A and B are shown apart, each in its own frame.
Chain A
Amino acid sequence: MSEELLNQTQVATLAALAGGIIPPDETDGGASSVNAGLRLAEKIRAGINTALYLQGIEAAETIATTDYRREVAQLGPSEVYAVIAAIREKLPGFFRQLRMDVSALYLSDPDVWQRIGFPGPSTASGGYPDFDQPQTQKVIGLKEGSGNGP
């Protein structure tokens, strides 16, 4: 698929929707920290769930234009949140796919693993001999050999 499949506005819409699923805050940039918009666009151009995404992007743009007279990428966080709520109601299949895909991108980042306390791959380093002991500390850092990401 060529880049003509998605124009810049559509890619910006994707990025805004992804940012609405996992927003930026004081800890990190959320979906934008893993370039979710661009990476989703790559998948769509590769033919993965293309029809579903094009339908969802069009619906989001229609809602934004109708309700706010602006493009999705120009909306504030609360407005994006409302657009996604409408999408969840009208196109639940697209919403589920978007949520899954954004989550997968975000939660495949070893930096995010460190922030949430997930040490990543662990079999090669012997698993967790302390699995049955009281857990008093969130694990900071990745297990040895981790960090390449899935």
Chain B
Amino acid sequence: MAIESPDALIVGAGACGSLVAKELAERGFSVVVLEAGRRFDPATDLPNTEANGAKILWTEPRVYTGKHGVVPKAGAGVGGGTLAWLGVMPRFHPADFKSFSTEGIGEDWPISYDDLRPYYRKVEREFGVAGECGPFAPESYELPMPPHRMNWLAQVLARGARKVGAHPFAPPIAINSVAYDGRPACVYCGWCGSGCPTGAKATGANTYLAQAEQLGVRVISEAFVHRIDYDPRKGRVTGVGYLDAQKQEHQLNARLVVLAAHALETPRLLLLSANGAFPDGLANSSGCVGKYLMSHPTWQVFGTFAEPINAFKGMQMGHVMVQDYYRPDPRNGHARGFILLSYMMTPITYANLSGSFYGAEFKQFLRDYAYTAAWWAHAEGLPREQNTATLDPEQKDARGLPVSRVTYEWGENDLKLAAAARDKAAEMMMASGARRVRIGLNYGAHAMGTCRMGRDPKTSVVNEFCQSHDIPNLFICDTSVFVTGSGLNPTLTAMAISSRAAERIADSAGRGDI
């Protein structure tokens, strides 16, 4: 039974869903946001403990398969992935949107850097970003907060980077370097990934969504949307069905639906919503829903020093970045580029990202915690049709719904590029004076691309404004719509795309087009 009919239903209360909620509410829309996870008061619910991962990370079952078994992390809760994220917010480069035109690999996007420029700037100001654009930025730009001072870890890493000729800098990061927008400056406690109890780290919840709720947006947490309703006579979606924490069924109707459930759950929901008109999944006439899943091939590179580093003092990621090797160069043995970021972890994460050794060697590595620094070597993974997020034919979740089946194999360029990033990080670590360098875990960071945008409805799911080609009042605003992943952290770009889409939604609705 329908309990109300807002103008817009948004599925997912992460960075993008929160942003769209606030922007639509500002334009006079009535909005309901449905979030599968819980709502937290970070000051009381997220004290400094790595056990918080069980609360704020997606822990429901999935099936991971394929040659490389990539397991991208995702968030859960009001705030979504930004509860556990580390806040790095670089802009993509112009060439990232046209890798096929410039290098003959990947795909071109239907939008350009120029299209996103005003939205990048808007999000950086609204969300709160500190830092420098850096010497290799797509263009010179100012951020609303000054850069963070480098912690000792970053100073040690920067020393090595400079020795090999690179130009380290304090990158854009959505953690307050000074009090900003009613939130305090960071105290450099080193617990970013476990949830920031002070509010210095920007999340969807403490920025856009807080403002949205003041504008009257209703947020329903612990609401698992499992179906999007579709009226074949009108060719439009009419609402959603969701289960609450007690597994009670609810239905909400709306004029339009925005999916912002991230690149694994968004395609899952579309596939779960198959019907007579769309037997292969809602809005999937292209057959692309769930295909072209991308991640970032990433190596953790550790260096152990003779003197203490105490890298736990400071933000966990991004006190320093190296972007010298990002711009493609035909002289390289690979296409595309990579970046390096300082990354230091709380102890359990440190152990988990260290690799697969064990015994006395592992124990010594743990004992070296205070003496160890780390680079996060982060490269681009190109889109491949066979990398997918589909429905598993056998495994069901606690609700009896098929879980996501994630199939992944890195391509040849992905592996070459990641190896180049790893080797450069190791070279810099030695130049910093590490007495021992250890290559840690190779894994996939971020998930993108399962409902990609494009101009051709036969080869893409949404248009450049995140609107379904098949269903005019269905929108997707998250990293699902990425055409390529770039080698940079994706959240800012996903938010800029969402901001652009929200503007279009509001304008179109105002004209009666939706």
Binding site for B on A (CB under 8 A): 20-23, 25, 27, 30, 81, 84, 88, 95-96, 99-100, 103-104, 106-108, 112-113, 115-124, 126-139, 149-150
Given contacts A22-B366, A100-B352, A127-B187, contact A116 B308 (CB under 8 A): no
A150 and B368 alpha carbons, distance in the complex (Å)? 21
Known contacts A135-B310, A136-B308, A138-B308: A107-B356 contact under CB 8 Å: no
CA–CA, A104 and B347, complex, Å: 8
Chain B residue nearest in CB terms to A146? B48
Closest to B190 in A: A122
From B186, B309, B367, B371, give the contact of A115 (CB < 8 A).
Answer: B367
B366 and A107 contact, CB distance less than 8 A = yes
Contact residue among B151, B313, B348, B359 (Cβ-Cβ distance under 8 Å from A104): B348
Q: Is B369 an interface residue, CB under 8 A from the partner?
A: yes
**If the complex has contacts A130-B313, A138-B310, are A116 and B356 also in contact, measured as CB distance less than 8 A?**
no
Q: A103-B366, A133-B152 are in contact. List 9 more A-B contacts (CB 8 A).
A: A23-B359, A112-B347, A121-B47, A123-B198, A124-B197, A126-B187, A132-B149, A132-B152, A138-B370
**Are B351 and A25 closer than 8 Å at their CB atoms?**
no
Q: Which of A81, A95, A116 contacts B367 (CB 8 A)?
A: A116
Q: How far apart are the CA atoms of A137 and B358 in the complex, in Å?
A: 27
State whether the Cβ of B455 lies closer than 8 Å to any Cβ in chain A: no
Contact partners of A113 in chain B: CB under 8 A: 347
| B49–A22 touching, CB < 8 Å | no
- In the complex, what distance in Å separates the CA atom of A68 from the CA atom of B422? 40
| Cβ < 8 Å to A, chain B residues 307-363 | 307-310, 312-314, 346-348, 350-352, 356, 358-360, 362-363
Do the beta carbons of B313 and A128 come within 8 Å of each other?
yes
B residues 360-388 near A (Cβ < 8 Å) are 360, 362-363, 366-371
**Complex partner residue of A120 from B48, B313, B351, B352, CB under 8 angstroms:** B48
| Leading 5 A-B pairs by shortest Cβ distance | A127-B187, A117-B370, A121-B48, A150-B49, A127-B189
User: Using Cβ atoms and an 8 Å threshold, which residues of chain A touch B47?
Assistant: 121, 123-124
The 19 sampled A-B contact pairs (Cβ below 8 Å) are: A22-B362, A22-B363, A84-B358, A100-B352, A104-B50, A107-B347, A108-B50, A113-B347, A116-B367, A117-B308, A117-B371, A118-B369, A122-B48, A123-B189, A131-B149, A131-B313, A132-B150, A149-B49, A150-B51
Please, which residues of chain A bring their CB within 8 A of the CB of B197? 123-124
Chain B residues closer than 8 Å to A126, beta-carbon distance: 187
Asked if B275 is an interface residue, CB under 8 A from chain A, the answer is no
Cα(A119)–Cα(B369), bound, Å: 11
B208 within 8 A of A: no
The CA of A51 and the CA of B147, in the complex, are separated in Å by 49
Contacts of B370 in A (CB 8 A): 116-118, 138-139
Q: Given the complex, which residues of B lie within 8 Å of A124, measured CB to CB?
A: 47-48, 197
Contact B152 A135 (CB under 8 A): yes
- Which one of A88, A96, A135 contacts B308 once the chains associate, using CB atoms below 8 Å? A135
Is B188 in contact with A127, judged by CB distance below 8 angstroms? Answer: yes
B360 & A131 in contact (Cβ 8 Å cutoff): no
- Does residue B191 face the partner (Cβ distance < 8 Å to A)? yes
With A122-B189, A127-B187, A139-B310 in contact, is A132–B151 under 8 Å at CB? yes
CB distance from B27 to the nearest CB of A (A): 37
Contacts of A136 in B (CB 8 A): 307-308
Q: Check A103 against B363 for contact (C-beta < 8 Å).
A: no
Inside 8 A of A129's CB, which chain B residues have their CB?
187-188
Residue of chain B at shortest CB distance from A117: B370
CA distance A107 to B353 in the complex (A): 14
Inter-chain CA distance A111–B191, complex, in Å, is 19
